[in-house]
Amino acid sequence: MKVVIIGPAYPLRGGLATYNERLARAFCAAGDEARLVTFSLQYPGFLFPGQTQYSTEAAPADLAIEVSLNSVNPLSWVALGRLLRREQPDLVVFRFWLPFMGPALGTVARLVRGNGHTRVVAITDNVIPHEKRLGDKLLTRYFLSACDGFVTMSRSVLADLQALGFGQKPALYRPHPLYDNFGPIKPRSTALAALGLPGDATRYALFFGFIRAYKGLDLLLEAWADPRLAALPVKLLLAGEFYEDAAPYEAIIQRYKLESRLVRATDFIPNERVADYFCAADIVLQPYKNATQSGVSQVAYHFERPMLVTNVGGLAELIPHGEVGYVVPPRAAAIADALVDFFTHPEKQALFEEGTRRVKQQFSWPVMVTALKEVAGL
């Protein structure tokens, strides 16, 4: 079967690109011929909140990646759509995460389907975005109406599809597969040394990934100010780039005098350094205020790290409370209570690590490949 995956991929960086590249490998492992089509321009510079959209790493040698889609140039949409309509792949998989991409991806999808052969499906990270803007529903509907089926990675997004009126189309929920492409688990001492951190009795909690308002770093910093945590030999690892103004977070840090209890790495974390941060951490924190699903959970599962997540969106679907970590309300006091429990009961770390080894077996890339073919009717 010939498969084309359209969405972020090298030379773009970030979790979406990592996922799409891993998905292409999963199709190839299943015996399919898969290639990726990515953006020559993903976002205009003034819309991109980070430092750069592009990777500094070497290109993946095992993948066919075409860089041709410009998100704001309709001529590129039409050119790609017509090309794929002529080529007649059996399946085109779109990655949809933002209404802004609706016009480009929706136009390509309509043109491709015009050949009467290609099936078009979407992995829908979000259909109702975290940060809402005027026109979101219109742009999202334009794309969704051009698809033959959908796979969601949280039940909440599946419900959103139905609420938007697309419940009549084939749709399946399948959990986000395991991010198993960041290398093997390292000894904690090796990871700490790589980060330049002392291998003493200090324990670490990790907040990882792009920093945006919905991810709740402010709640976490408020929780970290709890006097019970301040009395323990624990530090907070902040590993990820600010995608918004850092000033409100800095104000909390200064207000509670948290600086000495933080380890900052607030630049983009390249793939080859991901293992160091997760393997150095005793627990991974996702104090989100709203969410659908999170790739951070699946990196934590790969490295068998305990987790704390808030009970929002689809996060709790993947984190059995008391088995691999904690599921708490999105409140600073609740986050602090769970962290105090974890760091004052050392036996819980081994218990939760064993839980991650059991639970992570269900997060499979072949399952995702099968689901995409199923909703396409292939």
- The verdict on residue 183 lying in a domain is no
Let me know if residue 345 belongs to a domain: yes
User: Domain tally for the chain?
Assistant: 2
Q: What span, in angstroms and rounded, lies between the C-alpha atoms of 375 and 216?
A: 34
**Residue-range definition of the domain harbouring residue 19:** 2-177+363-376
Residues 168 and 194 in one domain: no
DSSP code, position 115: T
Q: Are residues 298 and 168 in the same domain?
A: no
258: in domain: yes
Note whether 82 and 150 are same-domain residues: yes
> Mind listing the pLDDT tens digit for each residue in 313-323?
778 888 999 99
Arithmetic mean of pLDDT, 102-114: 97
pLDDT tens for 336-367 read: 999 999 999 999 999 999 999 999 998 999 99
- Do 173 and 279 reside in the same domain of the chain? no
% of residues, the chain, pLDDT over 90: 74
Residues 297 and 161 placed together within one structural domain of the fold: no
Is 182 contained in some domain?
no
- 148 with 287, same domain: the answer is no
Mean pLDDT of the chain: 92
Residue 67 lies in a domain: yes
Kindly tell me if the per-residue pLDDT of 376 is higher than 90.
yes
- For residue 86, pLDDT over 80 is answered with yes
Q: Which pLDDT value is given to residue 269? A: 84
User: Are 67 and 133 part of one and the same domain?
Assistant: yes
On whether both 367 and 333 belong to a single domain, the answer is: no
Q: Could you tell me if 124 and 248 lie in one domain? A: no
Q: What is the pLDDT of residues 252-264, one digit of tens each?
A: 999 999 999 999 9
Tell me if 206 sits within 8 A of 297, measured CB to CB. no
* pLDDT one-digit tens code per residue, 158-180: 999 988 888 899 999 999 999 89
Residue 246 pLDDT more than 60? yes
Least confident span in 8-17, 145-154, 291-300, 347-356: 291-300
* Structure confidence at residue 336 (pLDDT): 98
The more confidently predicted of residues 128 and 145 is: 145
pLDDT band at 131 (very low <50, low <70, confident <90, very high): low
Same domain, 122 and 212: no
Q: What is the CATH number of the domain that holds 78?
A: 3.40.50.2000
Element spanning 76, H or E:
helix 74-87
Helix (H) or strand (E) holding 20: helix 15-29
The pLDDT, as a whole number, for residue 95 is 96
**CA separation (Å) from 185 to 41, 189, 276, 301, 360?**
35, 12, 9, 11, 14
Same-domain check for residues 345 and 371: no
Helices 217-224 & 247-255 angle (0-180, nearest 10): 10
pLDDT per residue over 177-219, tens digit each? 998 989 999 999 999 999 999 878 899 999 998 888 889 999 9
In a shared domain, residues 144 and 196 = no
Q: In the sheet where 203-208 sits, what is the strand order?
A: 262-265, 234-239, 203-208, 283-286, 307-310, 325-328
